[in-house]
Amino acid sequence: MPPLGEPSRAEWTRLAEEALRQLWDAVAGGRGLPGTALAAVGSLGRGDCGPESDLDLVLLHRSHRAGDIDSLADALWYPLWDSGIELDHSVRSLDECRGIAAGDLKASISLLDLRWIAGDADLVERAARSVHADWRATARLRFPEIEALQRARVARAGELAYEIEGDVKEAAGGMRDATFVRALVASWLAERPVIDYEPSYRFLLDVRDALATVTRRHQHALRIQSHDDVAAILGFEGPAGADELLARVSGAARIIRGAYEDTAARARRNLTPSIVRPR
How high is the pLDDT of residue 276? 43
The per-residue pLDDT for range 171-213, each reduced to its tens digit, is 999 999 999 999 999 999 999 999 999 999 999 999 999 999 9
How high is the pLDDT of residue 275? 44
Contact of 253 with 166, CB cutoff 8 Å = yes
Evaluated on CA atoms 243, 249, 252, 254, the torsion sign reads negative
How high is the pLDDT of residue 181? 97
Delineate the domains of the chain, giving CATH numbers in brackets.
Answer: 6-135 (3.30.460.10), 158-271 (no CATH)
Of 98, 26, 22, whose CA–CA distance to 60 is shortest?
98
The percent of residues above 90 in pLDDT, for the chain, comes to 79
The per-residue pLDDT for range 239-277, each reduced to its tens digit, is 999 999 999 999 999 999 999 999 999 999 999 865 444
Q: Cβ-count burial of 177 within 10 angstroms (0-12 exposed, 13-18 middle, 19+ buried)?
A: buried
How high is the pLDDT of residue 62? 86
Full-prediction pTM beyond 0.85?
yes
Contact of 189 with 271, CB cutoff 8 Å = yes
Return all residues near 275 (Cβ < 8 A) that are at least 6 apart. none
The percent of residues above 70 in pLDDT, for the chain, comes to 95
Label residues 220-247 b or e (16+ Cβ within 10 Å = b).
bbbeeebbebbbbbbebeeeebbeebbe
Of 154, 216, 240, 145, whose CA–CA distance to 187 is shortest?
145
205 SS3 class = helix
Neighbours of 94 (CB within 10 A): 18
How high is the pLDDT of residue 278? 52
Which positions of the chain have pLDDT values less than 50? 275-277
How high is the pLDDT of residue 31? 73
